[in-house]
């Protein structure tokens, strides 16, 4: 039994956002494990054919045989993250999904599992936080995650 199944059995609304790293096939996605809502990547954002510098691995070399990073809504793929720049919006996107869920369920019990794909590499940060910290890109990412926590609270 997952924590989401336990909460669901007690009348909670449940949601999973961010990174779901427990399997990419439908049977392993979060809707089948106690979550009412799911919007996430199906695995870590470093498991794809893109190098840290943004170039693509060759087939058969490094992570060249990996697919691009799928973005799943409920049980359906709605997009693929194919570039470093496409990752820049993920923290804000997952934060907004969580805030919307909270707003929708504020009068009833709810549980949210939010696992941001950042701060591990490859890093992505939105334009509103890019080049804002004295610690470089990693500091910018941490500022955005701090903002995310503040928005949710």
Query: What's the confidence (pLDDT) of residue 12?
Result: 98
Domain boundaries, the chain: 3-116
Nearest to 121 by CA among 59, 45, 68: 45
Q: Tens-of-pLDDT digits for all 153 residues of the chain?
A: 999 999 999 999 999 999 998 888 999 999 999 999 999 999 888 888 988 888 889 999 988 888 899 999 999 999 999 999 999 999 999 999 999 999 999 999 999 999 999 988 889 999 999 999 999 999 999 999 999 999 999
- CA dist., res. 83 & res. 104, Å (int): 32
Query: What's the confidence (pLDDT) of residue 134?
Result: 96
Whether 91 and 145 have beta carbons less than 8 Å apart is answered as yes
Query: What's the confidence (pLDDT) of residue 131?
Result: 97
Query: What's the confidence (pLDDT) of residue 44?
Result: 86
Q: What tokens were used for 150?
A: 């503040």
Cis omega (within 30 of 0) for bond into 80:
no
- CA dist., res. 132 & res. 135, Å (int): 9
């Amino acid at each position: 039994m997952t924590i989401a199944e336990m909460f669901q059995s007690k009348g909670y609304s449940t949601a999973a956002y961010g990174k779901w790293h427990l399997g990419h096939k439908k049977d392993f996605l979060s809707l089948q494990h106690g979550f009412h809502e799911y919007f996430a990547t199906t695995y870590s954002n470093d498991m794809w054919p893109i190098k840290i510098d943004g170039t693509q691995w060759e087939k058969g070399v490094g992570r060249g045989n990996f697919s691009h990073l799928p973005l799943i809504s409920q049980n359906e793929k709605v997009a693929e993250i194919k570039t470093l720049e496409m990752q820049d919006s993920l923290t804000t996107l997952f934060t907004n999904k969580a805030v919307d869920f909270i707003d929708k369920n504020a009068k009833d019990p709810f549980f949210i599992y939010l696992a941001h794909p950042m701060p591990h590499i490859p890093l992505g940060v939105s334009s509103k936080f890019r080049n804002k910290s004295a610690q470089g890109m990693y500091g910018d990412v941490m500022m955005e995650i701090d903002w995310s926590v503040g928005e949710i609270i």
